[in-house]
């Protein structure tokens, strides 16, 4: 007996060393999707399918379905699947959460900084009107602003207007409208302030405190089981939604990740959702955020009986769902919400045989009825006979998409149903012996909607125009005010690019200058700059305190205001450091008191660059001695004194332009987004992820900082300097022009 232990250990090691054999299946999943029957492109009749080389017996479809069922049964055993999390009443709302947008917290429909109030009703009313409303919302306050200072992802949630109390009231407002609320979890955020303790415990406590319903696991193929356990311990269980992407070993997590995104491929013939096939109660929200046409996304979602991530505000870039797709989404979601229980039937049969080329359907049996969700992948309408089903006495058939009863043709082989499918359109058929009152109501609503066909709605995509928020001129100065440098007027070639991480050069990205016809990343324009004076240094803590002492200024939204000060003053030895933790509104208030204003971005760049398009204030080569040493830690060490790096002087003698603190300049606005252009970059460089707010040290680069409210906009690396308009003096201008030439 003493020898059996080593023998068994050796056998175990040998077994583990043998590669696991793949399951015996002809239709293996490809990422998050499973291919349909080989070369299926619609059917020619109830007995055969369209094959590239000719008809294929429909026995192939049944064999494919049997293969898929066998794979599911075996795979669930292999991953040790247990579906008890889907039986928990507090988590079952996910099974009806078909439509969920990711919403930037900075969206102007969601919060009004003028009144200081969340405008949940305004936000939801717009979505109800445009595409039929939502079931859940993912509120996103972190990326792309995270990393401008060392606040971590949880700090940025807490810094939203009203703090925990305000957030709890905001979440409750969504709940009153029947909408569930999720927040992001960013596992890559390991370069900012350490929270202390495991992230899953912080997530669980924070979501419980604000009453949220779940989290989205950003960049995660699966949210680990530790999050489930930590959440349950709070007594406020939340759901977990991985962003998606098949990692090859994420399948077991569907046991406790009740919903997730679908990053899918879109060939002509639909593919089957792997996760929904494994667990029909799992909610997939198809996500394709940069797509301008959502037709593929919506058709695949409807074919699979899944949901849609109706994401339009993408990091402050507006990619609105076009009117045709919005109307399709309204009608799809009506049907899916009405039949959500049937759409999680384990008897789902994808690729139920259809009669027409390019038309595909799924059959969903349940509750004594059968539902077919149908898509026409053709670019043309398909009218007439579409589907044959087995005859059953007393069964009636309804065209849900058009809201009317169908007249079946009785054949020896069964019942043939005829109806119209619009180009790249949708259909839905219900078979039942007796309609419920809710089903009658749905038929009436769909009949009314069908009076205006989808083809009559526009598919035109539009970017959102932006406008520059006007900056009132200051009282012109006839001589240099104390601490300011004269910048002569002249013709300036203004060339600058946004450093946004995503978006390429699509229309709508970055900003739209007054002389441009659309927002875009790259900008170049000749500007006639009027003479002005600019602060030689950024405004310091000592200067800002003089303003406070003189005016007793205190912002209404004072969260994070002068966060690094204590007892009404700055830390000892910090008087000559640039003031930070001031919002755009705070900076403007100081400028008004000083008889100045904030600079336009091109004025800032002209003062830093001169007219020779140099890359840095001192020349074209990076000089680390001209800027403060970078801070790559997780706690802010604070900026350098404004006069600590004289080698960083610009051609005009303006100091501390880059590498110490970001500086406020212009504000741009569109119906959904406010953003400020920040210049100069900062000394802080959080490490470990490419998703942090990127620095912009070069003079032909700028940062776009999304604005919501002073509480969250203020940052520990963000300050400002002022300008003052100059009264014209030809002698003064000529003198400075000669100096610049020399």
Tens digits of residue pLDDT in 69-98: 999 999 999 999 999 999 999 999 999 999
- Looking at residue 52, its pLDDT comes to 40
Asked whether the predicted pLDDT for residue 57 surpasses 50, the reply is yes
Least confident range from 28-32, 620-624, 737-741: namely 737-741
Asked whether the predicted pLDDT for residue 47 surpasses 70, the reply is no
- Looking at residue 8, its pLDDT comes to 37
Buried b (16+ CB within 10 A) or exposed e, 559-589: bbbbbbbeeeebeeebbbbbbbbbbbbbbbb
Least confident range from 240-249, 523-532, 658-667, 721-730: namely 240-249
Nearest-angstrom CA–CA distance, 500 and 534: 28
DSSP bridge partners of 535: 484
Asked whether the predicted pLDDT for residue 465 surpasses 50, the reply is yes
Least confident range from 18-27, 570-579, 657-666, 713-722: namely 18-27
- Using pLDDT thresholds of 50, 70 and 90, give the confidence band for residue 503: very high
- Using pLDDT thresholds of 50, 70 and 90, give the confidence band for residue 58: confident
| Chain-centre distance for alpha carbon 126 | 18
Task: Give the number of other CB atoms < 10 A from CB of residue 185.
Answer: 28
CB 714 within 8 A of CB 582: yes
Across the chain, mean pLDDT equals: 93
How is the chain split into domains, by residue range?
Answer: 477-731
pLDDT, mean of residues 381-387:
96
| Tens of pLDDT, residues 126-140 | 999 999 999 999 999
Nearest-angstrom CA–CA distance, 307 and 300: 10
Contacts of residue 537, defined as CB under 8 A and 6 or more positions apart, other chains included, come to 483, 578, 642, 643, 655, 656, 721
Asked whether the predicted pLDDT for residue 742 surpasses 80, the reply is no
Nearest-angstrom CA–CA distance, 564 and 579: 9
> Residue 244, SS3?
coil
Asked whether the predicted pLDDT for residue 21 surpasses 60, the reply is no
Asked whether the predicted pLDDT for residue 546 surpasses 80, the reply is yes
| Tens of pLDDT, residues 213-264 | 999 999 999 999 999 999 999 999 999 999 987 666 899 999 999 999 999 9
- Looking at residue 48, its pLDDT comes to 44
**Owner of token pair 């032909």:** 700
| Tens of pLDDT, residues 142-188 | 999 999 999 999 999 999 999 999 999 999 999 999 999 999 999 99
Cα dihedral 258, 260, 264, 270, rounded to 10, equals 30
CATH fold for domain 477-731:
3.90.1580
pLDDT, mean of residues 421-450:
97
Minimal CA–CA distance to 155: which of 721, 712, 575?
712
Asked whether the predicted pLDDT for residue 560 surpasses 60, the reply is yes
- Using pLDDT thresholds of 50, 70 and 90, give the confidence band for residue 43: very low
| Tens of pLDDT, residues 591-636 | 999 999 999 999 999 999 999 999 999 999 999 999 999 999 999 9
How many residues are present in the chain? 742
Asked whether the predicted pLDDT for residue 46 surpasses 60, the reply is no
- Looking at residue 59, its pLDDT comes to 81
pLDDT, mean of residues 274-302:
97
Asked whether the predicted pLDDT for residue 730 surpasses 60, the reply is no
CB 602 within 8 A of CB 492: yes
Minimal CA–CA distance to 422: which of 372, 385, 378, 458?
378
């Amino acid at each position: 007996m003493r020898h059996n232990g080593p023998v068994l250990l050796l056998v175990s090691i040998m077994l583990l060393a043998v590669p696991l054999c793949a399951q015996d299946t002809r239709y293996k999943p490809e990422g998050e999707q499973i291919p349909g029957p080989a070369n299926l492109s619609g059917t020619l009749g109830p007995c055969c399918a369209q094959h590239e080389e000719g008809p294929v017996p429909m026995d192939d479809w049944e064999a494919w379905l049997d293969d898929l069922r066998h794979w599911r049964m075996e795979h669930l055993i292999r991953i040790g699947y247990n579906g008890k999390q889907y039986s928990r009443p507090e988590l079952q709302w996910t099974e009806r959460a078909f439509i969920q947008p990711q919403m930037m917290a900075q969206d102007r429909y969601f919060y009004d900084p003028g009144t200081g109030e969340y405008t949940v009703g305004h936000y939801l009313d717009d979505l109800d009107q445009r595409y039929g409303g939502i079931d859940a919302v993912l509120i996103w306050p972190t990326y792309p602003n995270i990393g401008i200072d060392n606040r971590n992802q949880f700090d940025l949630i807490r810094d939203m207007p009203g703090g925990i109390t305000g957030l709890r009231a905001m979440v409750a407002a969504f709940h009153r409208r029947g909408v569930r609320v999720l927040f992001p979890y960013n596992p890559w955020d390991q370069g900012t302030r350490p929270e202390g303790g495991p992230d899953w415990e912080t997530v669980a406590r924070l979501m419980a405190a604000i009453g949220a319903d779940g989290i989205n696991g950003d960049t995660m193929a699966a949210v680990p089981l530790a999050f489930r356990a930590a959440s349950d311990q709070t007594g406020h269980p939340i759901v977990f939604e991985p962003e998606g992407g098949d990692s090859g070993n994420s399948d077991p997590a569907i046991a406790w990740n009740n919903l997730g995104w679908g990053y899918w491929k879109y060939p002509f013939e639909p593919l089957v959702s792997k996760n929904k096939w494994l667990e029909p109660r799992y909610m997939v929200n198809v996500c394709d955020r940069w797509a301008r046409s959502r037709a593929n996304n919506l058709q695949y979602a409807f074919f699979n009986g899944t949901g849609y991530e109706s994401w339009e505000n993408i990091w402050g870039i507006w990619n609105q769902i076009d009117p045709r797709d919005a109307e399709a989404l309204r009608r799809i979601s009506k049907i899916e919400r009405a039949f959500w229980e049937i759409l999680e039937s384990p008897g789902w049969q994808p690729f139920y045989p259809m009669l027409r080329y390019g038309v595909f359907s799924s059959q969903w049996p349940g509750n004594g009825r059968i539902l077919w969700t149908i898509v026409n992948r053709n670019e043309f309408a398909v009218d007439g006979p579409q589907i044959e089903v087995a005859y059953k006495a007393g069964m009636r058939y309804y065209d849900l998409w058009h809201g009317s009863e169908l007249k079946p043709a009785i054949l020896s082989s069964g019942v043939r149903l005829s109806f119209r499918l619009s180009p790249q359109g949708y259909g839905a058929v219900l078979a039942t012996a007796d309609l419920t009152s809710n089903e009658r109501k749905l038929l009436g609503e769909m009949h009314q909607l069908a009076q205006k066909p989808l083809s009559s709605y526009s598919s035109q995509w539009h970017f959102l125009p932006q406008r520059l928020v006007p900056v009132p001129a200051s009282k012109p100065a006839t001589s240099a005010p104390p601490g300011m440098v004269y910048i002569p007027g002249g013709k300036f070639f203004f060339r600058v690019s946004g450093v946004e991480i995503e978006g390429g050069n699509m229309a709508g990205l970055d900003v739209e200058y007054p002389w441009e016809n659309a927002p875009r990343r790259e900008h170049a324009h000749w500007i006639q700059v009027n003479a002005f004076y600019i602060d030689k240094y950024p405004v310091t803590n000592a200067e800002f305190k003089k303003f406070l002492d003189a005016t007793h200024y205190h912002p209404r939204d004072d969260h994070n205001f002068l966060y690094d000060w204590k007892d009404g003053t700055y830390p000892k030895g910090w008087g000559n450091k640039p003031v930070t933790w001031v919002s755009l509104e705070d900076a403007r208030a100081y400028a008004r008191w000083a008889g100045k204003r904030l600079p336009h971005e091109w004025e800032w760049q002209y003062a830093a660059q001169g007219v020779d398009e140099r890359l840095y204030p001192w020349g074209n080569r990076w000089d680390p001695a001209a800027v403060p040493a970078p801070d790559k830690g997780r706690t802010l060490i604070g900026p350098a004194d404004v006069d600590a790096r004289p080698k960083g002087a610009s051609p005009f003698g303006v100091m501390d332009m880059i590498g110490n603190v970001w500086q406020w300049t212009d504000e741009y606005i569109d119906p959904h987004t406010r953003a400020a252009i920040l210049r100069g970059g900062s000394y802080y460089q959080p490490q470990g992820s490419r998703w942090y707010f990127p620095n912009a040290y070069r003079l032909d680069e700028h940062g776009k900082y999304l604005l919501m409210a002073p509480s969250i906009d203020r940052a520990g690396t963000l300050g400002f300097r002022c300008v003052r308009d100059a009264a014209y003096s030809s002698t003064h201008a000529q003198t400075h022009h000669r100096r610049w030439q020399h």
